[in-house]
A and B are shown apart, each in its own frame.
Chain A
């Protein structure tokens, strides 16, 4: 057994705060949408607004972190072993096979994750947050006031915001489930909490071997 440090401290902080904010925003947001009643419309809308600003703040920090640390490179999409990764989830996983890709601090995401998370960061979150900001600032000012967003139909802003929210919820379900596909069902979650992930022995041998070879070389 070998422990590898994969998730940095800020990364873990960002991940869990973002997760709680997104879940809280989902609860309050779908209440505003009329799906159920927990806080009441007034409080739900207010909480949603506050939490949304917190999420925006957090994401600004996260973007800064990704850029300054160069971690953004982790999300550069690749097709290498993408097919193998998909096949693993479809069949290999049932046969007790091993992940076709290894996880290291330098490459924490498998090819499938790279594509999905890149989509999450560049499409899903921008759609939801962008439409959310338009929603929040929405106002058809009367003639005596400054016009910021002029007669842009609220129905379409709401459409994109709801679409983003629904896709985020589907992402959440699949994402949470996928965390159980590590060495043990909880090893991935533990890694996101402690930062360290236990690497499987065979892979460890590989890594040691590689290191050895590199040393020799």
Chain B
């Protein structure tokens, strides 16, 4: 009796322990709550620029605004002029190149190809005034554009193909008196429009982020934390942390999730352990280009078709350009699942003048592998395309695309590749053989923004699955749930089947011999029983 009771009591306790273990509610994440609290407090500016005497005047040129800024911020131009936003290059050590200066000045991409000979147009996104060519004076503080980053009136606008000068409609007085800490709209005015249109290049930097929901970006969502870019991309002396590996090379000065969230943000240890080889972004950005489409492919070889001697454009069903005579044909996509690669934080770019080593030409190479301990799996947008190259020198060429007028050898006016390349390469300081072709290219864009709410994070089984998982293309390492030792599994399966067959065979023989024996015994018994009645 006591034993039965004891068994029941122990059994109940055991069951309760099991129930408790298996139905564990997620605990309250205090780390996250502390972060939310800290970032809920928005800083109040310590100065109201609207009442400063130095700004109560008319400004004829934007340079006059800069001069006015410098009357109080007397040394700030030195910080700005040391930045890559100003210099369009950054010295760094690159494996295989040594110390090299890399930036928009000299790297190529597979969108609008490069800045050389096109500065008049490209400098719309330079924080300066008057960069019309490669002869821009980088030492003239008057040409620093403070307003493009610090305008809080949302009125400031850089003019199209005006070498970085503001649009003629901008009220400089108004802008100058309403400066403050950079907002999403300031950063986005360039970073969302890379490649000549909204969300063209990055895929995760869309002008829609200026006012989006938590589902689009959990940090910047207006109904979420509503963070500004500079909340994460902090700056000391105008040196802003965070960079993208389309123009960057070394593993320094990066903006990371860990700077706020630490390396152990999850309550579940097994998730934290992933951090050693999997980036936060890989799971927390299930898709990018959530609002507007991004360009996935750009074929320059299709450019130059004319209708009635005139350039034309075609659009796809979502209103994105699918063809432009001046640029070629495009493929766009929205709500894109990223590709995944190993990345250790260092990269190399295709620099104008480099020889083509392999096709498709890698416009940037993100270094890393499973065997490199500092590499993690990161999500990337892979942008493919083709572009013009020099068949004899075997290198990509820089055509002159932008021109004011026809007859200036600019491709976008004259549609003559030969002249455009000759002019572009001459200005860039390189030889051109005169024989061009088109070569396939590929470019890797790490996806870092459009972080989804945690409920939408990539689930375990999206990678830990036998077939067609998100990491299906990343091979060379053992991923539980995806990989198996095929010969062991094969052998094990058949050994198990053999054991079953053996057991059933043995049982069958036992049962059948028993039945036979019973029959025999039964006959004897019948005989014995029959005897007395005889």
Which residues of B100-151 are within 8 A (CB) of A?
A: none
Given known A-B contacts A151-B373, A166-B495, A140 and B466 have beta carbons under 8 A apart: no
Would you call B514 an interface residue if the criterion is a C-beta within 8 Å of the partner chain's C-beta atoms? Answer: yes
Which residues of B471-518 are within 8 A (CB) of A?
A: 477-478, 480-485, 488-489, 492, 495-496, 499-500, 502-503, 506-507, 509-510, 513-514, 517
Q: Which residues of B sit under 8 angstroms from A45, Cβ to Cβ?
A: 270, 460, 464, 480
Q: Which residues of B sit under 8 angstroms from A46, Cβ to Cβ?
A: 270
- Determine if A142 and B276 form an interchain contact, defined as CB atoms under 8 angstroms apart: yes
- Determine if B499 and A173 form an interchain contact, defined as CB atoms under 8 angstroms apart: yes
Would you call B365 an interface residue if the criterion is a C-beta within 8 Å of the partner chain's C-beta atoms? Answer: no
> A156 — nearest CB in chain B belongs to which residue?
B478
A-B contact pairs, 11 of them (CB 8 A): A42-B460, A50-B22, A142-B277, A142-B376, A145-B263, A154-B478, A155-B485, A166-B488, A173-B499, A177-B503, A177-B507
Q: Which residues of B sit under 8 angstroms from A140, Cβ to Cβ?
A: 276-277, 373
- With beta carbons under 8 angstroms apart, the residue of B460, B485, B492 that contacts A158 is B485
Q: Which residues of A sit under 8 angstroms from B161, Cβ to Cβ?
A: none
Q: Which residues of A sit under 8 angstroms from B87, Cβ to Cβ?
A: none
Closest Cβ–Cβ distance, residue A151 to chain B (whole Å): 7
Which residues of A104-138 are within 8 A (CB) of B?
A: 135
Of B376, B461, B507, which is in contact with the most chain A CB atoms at under 10 Å from its CB? B461
- Determine if A34 and B482 form an interchain contact, defined as CB atoms under 8 angstroms apart: yes
Would you call A63 an interface residue if the criterion is a C-beta within 8 Å of the partner chain's C-beta atoms? Answer: no
Given A9-B3, A173-B496: 16 more A-B contacts, CB < 8 Å: A34-B465, A34-B484, A41-B464, A41-B465, A42-B460, A89-B506, A96-B514, A135-B480, A144-B263, A145-B276, A155-B483, A158-B483, A169-B496, A173-B500, A177-B506, A181-B510
- Determine if B513 and A180 form an interchain contact, defined as CB atoms under 8 angstroms apart: no
Closest Cβ–Cβ distance, residue A81 to chain B (whole Å): 20
Interface string of B448-462 (1 = CB under 8 A from A): 000000000001110
Task: For the complex, give the distance between the alpha carbons of A159 and B483 in Å.
Answer: 11
Of B3, B376, B480, B496, which is in contact with the most chain A CB atoms at under 10 Å from its CB? B480
Would you call B355 an interface residue if the criterion is a C-beta within 8 Å of the partner chain's C-beta atoms? Answer: no
What are the 5 closest A-B residue pairs judged by CB atoms, nearest first?
A: A166-B492, A155-B478, A41-B461, A42-B460, A154-B478
Interface string of B4-18 (1 = CB under 8 A from A): 000000000000000
Would you call A60 an interface residue if the criterion is a C-beta within 8 Å of the partner chain's C-beta atoms? Answer: no
Interface size class of B (residues with CB under 8 A): 35 or more
Task: For the complex, give the distance between the alpha carbons of A181 and B507 in Å.
Answer: 9
- Determine if B478 and A153 form an interchain contact, defined as CB atoms under 8 angstroms apart: yes
Given known A-B contacts A162-B488, A163-B492, A34 and B466 have beta carbons under 8 A apart: yes
Closest Cβ–Cβ distance, residue A26 to chain B (whole Å): 11
Would you call A61 an interface residue if the criterion is a C-beta within 8 Å of the partner chain's C-beta atoms? Answer: no
Closest Cβ–Cβ distance, residue B28 to chain A (whole Å): 19
Which residues of B26-55 are within 8 A (CB) of A?
A: none
Task: For the complex, give the distance between the alpha carbons of A169 and B500 in Å.
Answer: 10
Given known A-B contacts A162-B492, A170-B495, A47 and B478 have beta carbons under 8 A apart: no
Q: Which residues of B sit under 8 angstroms from A180, Cβ to Cβ?
A: 507
Would you call A69 an interface residue if the criterion is a C-beta within 8 Å of the partner chain's C-beta atoms? Answer: no
- Determine if B514 and A159 form an interchain contact, defined as CB atoms under 8 angstroms apart: no
Would you call A190 an interface residue if the criterion is a C-beta within 8 Å of the partner chain's C-beta atoms? Answer: no
Q: Which residues of A sit under 8 angstroms from B500, Cβ to Cβ?
A: 173
Would you call A103 an interface residue if the criterion is a C-beta within 8 Å of the partner chain's C-beta atoms? Answer: no
Would you call A213 an interface residue if the criterion is a C-beta within 8 Å of the partner chain's C-beta atoms? Answer: no
Would you call B21 an interface residue if the criterion is a C-beta within 8 Å of the partner chain's C-beta atoms? Answer: yes
Closest Cβ–Cβ distance, residue B467 to chain A (whole Å): 9
Task: For the complex, give the distance between the alpha carbons of A32 and B506 in Å.
Answer: 33
Which residues of B354-384 are within 8 A (CB) of A?
A: 373-374, 376
Q: Which residues of B sit under 8 angstroms from A42, Cβ to Cβ?
A: 459-461
> A176 — nearest CB in chain B belongs to which residue?
B503
- Determine if B492 and A174 form an interchain contact, defined as CB atoms under 8 angstroms apart: no
Q: Which residues of B sit under 8 angstroms from A83, Cβ to Cβ?
A: none
Interface string of A173-203 (1 = CB under 8 A from B): 1100100110000000000000000000000
Q: Which residues of B sit under 8 angstroms from A40, Cβ to Cβ?
A: 461
Task: For the complex, give the distance between the alpha carbons of A188 and B409 in Å.
Answer: 96
Main secondary structure of the interface of A (DSSP, over half): helix
Task: For the complex, give the distance between the alpha carbons of A145 and B258 in Å.
Answer: 14
Task: For the complex, give the distance between the alpha carbons of A32 and B483 in Å.
Answer: 10
Which residues of B250-301 are within 8 A (CB) of A?
A: 263, 270, 273, 276-277
Closest Cβ–Cβ distance, residue B306 to chain A (whole Å): 55
Q: Which residues of B sit under 8 angstroms from A158, Cβ to Cβ?
A: 478, 480, 483, 485
> A95 — nearest CB in chain B belongs to which residue?
B513
- Determine if A94 and B478 form an interchain contact, defined as CB atoms under 8 angstroms apart: no
Given known A-B contacts A45-B460, A96-B514, A173-B496, A142 and B374 have beta carbons under 8 A apart: yes
Q: Which residues of B sit under 8 angstroms from A151, Cβ to Cβ?
A: 373
Q: Which residues of B sit under 8 angstroms from A166, Cβ to Cβ?
A: 488, 492, 495-496
Given known A-B contacts A94-B509, A166-B495, A139 and B276 have beta carbons under 8 A apart: yes
> A138 — nearest CB in chain B belongs to which residue?
B273
Task: For the complex, give the distance between the alpha carbons of A104 and B499 in Å.
Answer: 29
Would you call A49 an interface residue if the criterion is a C-beta within 8 Å of the partner chain's C-beta atoms? Answer: yes
Of B465, B466, B499, which is in contact with the most chain A CB atoms at under 10 Å from its CB? B499
Closest Cβ–Cβ distance, residue B370 to chain A (whole Å): 9
Of A33, A50, A142, which is in contact with the most chain B CB atoms at under 10 Å from its CB? A142
- Determine if B373 and A143 form an interchain contact, defined as CB atoms under 8 angstroms apart: yes
Q: Which residues of A sit under 8 angstroms from B478, Cβ to Cβ?
A: 153-155, 158
Closest Cβ–Cβ distance, residue B2 to chain A (whole Å): 12
- Determine if B481 and A94 form an interchain contact, defined as CB atoms under 8 angstroms apart: no
Q: Which residues of A sit under 8 angstroms from B459, Cβ to Cβ?
A: 42
Would you call A23 an interface residue if the criterion is a C-beta within 8 Å of the partner chain's C-beta atoms? Answer: no
Closest Cβ–Cβ distance, residue B512 to chain A (whole Å): 9
Task: For the complex, give the distance between the alpha carbons of A41 and B477 in Å.
Answer: 19
Q: Which residues of B sit under 8 angstroms from A5, Cβ to Cβ?
A: none
Q: Which residues of B sit under 8 angstroms from A163, Cβ to Cβ?
A: 488, 492
Q: Which residues of A sit under 8 angstroms from B3, Cβ to Cβ?
A: 9
Of A41, A96, A154, which is in contact with the most chain B CB atoms at under 10 Å from its CB? A41
Task: For the complex, give the distance between the alpha carbons of A94 and B511 in Å.
Answer: 8
Q: Which residues of A sit under 8 angstroms from B485, Cβ to Cβ?
A: 155, 158-159, 162
Would you call A93 an interface residue if the criterion is a C-beta within 8 Å of the partner chain's C-beta atoms? Answer: yes
Q: Which residues of A sit under 8 angstroms from B21, Cβ to Cβ?
A: 50
Would you call A141 an interface residue if the criterion is a C-beta within 8 Å of the partner chain's C-beta atoms? Answer: yes
